[in-house]
A = this chain, B = another copy of it.
């Protein structure tokens, strides 16, 4: 009730940041690179947001959490914005992203194997001989 006597409370950039947990500057960055739309401005040139901006930013952040690149996010948004996106199209994007996630996991697992088996040979003593250094030095 406390805002009844003046224009309805609008969301400014800081509000959007707080509501979504997004960094303040990142919001402007997303606008610059075109994944967030340019919002209307108040008379004092302040950005004015509404519920749909909140929803879109949440969408973007959720997609980023799932490891989609900003390019992929743009593709997803284009499909959604087109209104005529199909489950098949979205599934295609998600599947190719899934493949790259799995490739990264495999890479890291390989690294983990090499690293842990090497470290396991360490004595951990105050001696200069170290299997890790040997592994790095070897011209395998």
Contacts and interface: CB of A to CB of B under 8 A. Distances in A.
Interface stretch (A2-10, A27-35, A54-62): A54-62
Interface in A98-116: 98, 101-102, 104-105, 108-109, 111-112, 114-116
A37 B121 CA distance: 30
A86 to B, nearest CB: 5
A115 B97 contact: yes
A17 interface: no
A92 to B, nearest CB: 8
A75 interface: no
A89 to B, nearest CB: 8
Given A123-B87, A128-B85, A102 B112 contact: yes
A64 to B, nearest CB: 10
24 contacts: A55-B139, A62-B135, A62-B136, A66-B111, A76-B133, A80-B133, A83-B128, A85-B133, A87-B129, A87-B130, A88-B122, A88-B124, A90-B132, A91-B124, A91-B130, A94-B118, A94-B122, A97-B115, A98-B112, A98-B115, A98-B116, A101-B112, A105-B109, A105-B112
